[in-house]
Every structure is written in C-alpha cells, then in structure tokens.
Structure 1
Amino acid sequence: MYTWPCAPVLAWYLWSQRPELIGKHVIELGAGTSLPGVVAAKCGANVTLSDCSRFTKCLENCRTSAVTNGVGDKVKIIGLTWGTFEPQLLKLEPVDLIISSDCFYDPTVFEPILMTVSYLLEKNPSASFVCSYKERSSDWSFEPYLSKWKLCCKTLEVASIISSSVVDVAELTQDNTIQLFEIHRAS
C-alpha cells in the first residue's frame, strides 16, 4: 500500500517520542492508511483512527491496517468529518495528542481542520496537535486560521528528529519538502 511521504515523517516523529506515548490517548484525523496511528499504538498509546464519516471504505482500511499490524485491540475507528460537530466528535473521550498526516492538502480544508482541532484542544487544554505537511504551493498558508481559532504553531525540525537514526531524510521524504508542525491553544 502506497503512503504519502508525510506519513513516514510523522510516524518517525512518533517513534522518536515513544516513551511519552505509553498509555496516552491519541487521535489521528484523516487517518487514511493509518501509518502514524498504528505506530502510536505500537508505542503503547490508545489510538482512535478517524476519517470522513462518508468514507466507509477508508474507515474499513483503517481497521484492516490496525488488525494487520497487531494493534486492532488498541485502536478505535470513528467517522469524523472536519468542521462538523457530529456525535462522534462530541462524545470523544479525552485526548492527549492529536495527529494528522498531510491533512492540509487543499486550502479549502484548512479552516474545517483547524476548527475541529480548536474544538479538541479547547476540550483538552494540555493536548497538542502534531501534523506533517507537504509543501505544494508557496502561497498556501493556514496561518490566518490559526489566529481566528485561537491557535499557535511552531515548526518541529524534521532533520534533527531523523538525524539521530540511520534513516536517510531524502529517502524518507521522497525528496519532497515536508514540514512538521505542533499546534496548541494560544495563551
């Protein structure tokens, strides 16, 4: 199964944080192939994989990925559409970490994603949102939505996270420019 270069970068970041993930509740937004969420579960986190509630085949793929990788018992699967307040979002148990790989693929989804993230971070003030992002256009930015939804962002250095390993950054990113961001509620 092909996975975009953002997923391995986020998965590697999670692997580098594995001691901190044990027993934490992690939710992956837009899970797709579920690589980061599965890695988090392998690291000892209790994981909720989510994707658009209309994408039933994608949700089935999330379940298949979790079971195939031996973490089906540590993973819940829910339908969650960005920017909507569906019952699954409102009933979600407390989370410690929100993750997403390449969810900022189109400017039309920037605000719905950040609206959902803002809601989750408001309910879980000690949580953060870590996402990997493939640069597609230099004029795309989610920065205006950060202030609107009372969020702040910092860049995590991909090269420094990966440099302590035997992994080749260019190979991992497939020569794409991949950013890793951590987003919190603004103070």
Structure 2
Amino acid sequence: MMDADYAMYVWPCAPVLAQYLYYHRHFIKGKTILELGTGTALPSVVAAKCGAHIILSDVAHLINATTSCTLNGITDFQVANITWGQFSPAVLQLPKLDIVMASDCFYSLKDFEDILVTVNFLLQDKSAAVFWCTYQERDSDWSIEHLLNKWHLQCTHIPLSSFQADSPSVASSGLPGNHTIWMLQITTKK
C-alpha cells in the first residue's frame, strides 16, 4: 500500500474525482459505478462509502484496488479485467451501469482513442448516463476533441471550484511544472 500523502501528490486526479463523488454523494447512492483503470481505487472507495455499488476494472492486476477496498471495510464490490479498446467477455457481461468514471486515464496519447471507444460502448450499450473523469494536463497540444466527435460523444468541463468550496487545494500539487487538473463529464451526443 502507498502512503496516502504520496498518492495525493503523485496522482492528484484521484482525490479530485473522489471529492466530486463525495460532493454528489446523494446522487450516487444506490447507483452502479464502474471505475476504469482503478489503480488504488480511491474514487471507488469513496463511492462505496457513499452507498454506490462499485465495479473495479483494470487491464490486469487489481490487487491494490481490492486490498484498498478490504482495508476500508468494503466487501460489496465486483472486479472486471477490462482492456481499453477491446470488447472482451468482461466488458460484455457488465450489468447496467449508471456512471462510468476514471481518474487520470488520459495519461498516454496512444491510449486516448481506446479509452473513448470503450466509454462510447459503455454509454451506448450499458445505458450509462455519464462518464466522469479527471485528468492532469501534461501537454497543451493534446486534445480529445476530434475523438469525441468521431465517437459521437460530447464533453462538459466542470469547474473545480463548483465542488471544492471546502477544500480548494485538493487539485494543487507541490510538484514542479504544470499540473492543471481538469474534471470532465462526457455523454453521448443526443
């Protein structure tokens, strides 16, 4: 397990998404939420503590995520080995989803389209209403806009100030360089 303070500074996106979930805790209660690229499962842990049913997913090992859930007293969760851009039995057998979420999934440019292909399928096929994600801007030239159009998705930027009134420093980082965090809500085009 990682030290929580270390995780806050290295992966600031997960705490921002977790804070967004907590801010919307009354909305997510009773919802089925799939976390893509779960990692250490901080957003999923918060969602479960707020009464959501969670599904942890990653491409391979989910030991950190399941351990994190167990250590936080969460026993009601599912796991799914999902590879972005591939439609495996794990993807096809998912239950109806209310929310799909991910923190810092737009990390590597080579994965952007695979992520959005997966999100598009989940939003269309599993009746999920929304994809909530946070990401850290690493290069101002990187954009998902053309991929959103290609896969018939639309994006709304959610200002961090709209849900960080009590602790606005969650998205900040002590690391050198640009560490702007963005919160997005992606849905299918109507």
What corresponds to 2:161 in structure 1?
A: 159
Residue 46 in 1 paired to residue 45 in 2?
no
Q: Distance in 1 between the 2:134 and 2:12 partners?
A: 9
Q: Distance in 1 between matches of 2:26 and 2:80?
A: 26
Give 2:173's aligned residue.
Answer: 174
TM-score w.r.t. structure 1 length? 0.92
- Tell me which residue corresponds to 2:64: 61
Indicate the residue corresponding to 1:32 in structure 2. Answer: 39
Return the TM-score normalized by structure 2.
0.91
Residue in 2 that maps onto 1:143: 145
Structure 2: gaps (5+ residues):
none
1:20 lines up with 2:27 in the alignment: yes
**What stretches of structure 1 of length at least 5 have no aligned partner?**
none
Q: 1:126 Cα deviation (Å)? A: 5.0
Cα distance in 1, alignment partners of residues 96 and 168 from structure 2: 36
Residues matched between the structures, number:
179
Q: Where in structure 2 are the equivalents of 1:89-108 lying within 5 Å? A: 89-108=91-110
Paired with 1:126 and 1:6, the residues of 2 have a C-alpha distance of 22
Q: Give distance in 1, aligned partners of 2:43 and 2:63.
A: 16
Query: What's the CA shift for 1:160?
Result: 2.1
CA RMSD of aligned residues (A): 1.2
Q: Give the 3-state SS of the residue equivalent to 2:163 in structure 1.
A: helix
Could you tell me which of 62, 74, 77 is aligned with 1:75? 77
Runs of 4+ with >3 A deviation: none
Shift of residue 78, structure 1, vs aligned partner? 1.4
Q: Distance in 2 between matches of 1:172 and 1:69?
A: 23
Q: Is 2:16 aligned against 1:9? A: yes
Q: Identity rate of aligned residues, in percent?
A: 45
SS at match of 1:162: coil
* Deviation (angstroms), 1:106: 0.9
Partner SS state of residue 164, structure 2: helix
Contact 2:122 2:128 in 1 (8 A): no
| CA deviation map 1:146-171 (0-9, x unaligned) | 011110000001122101x1x142x5
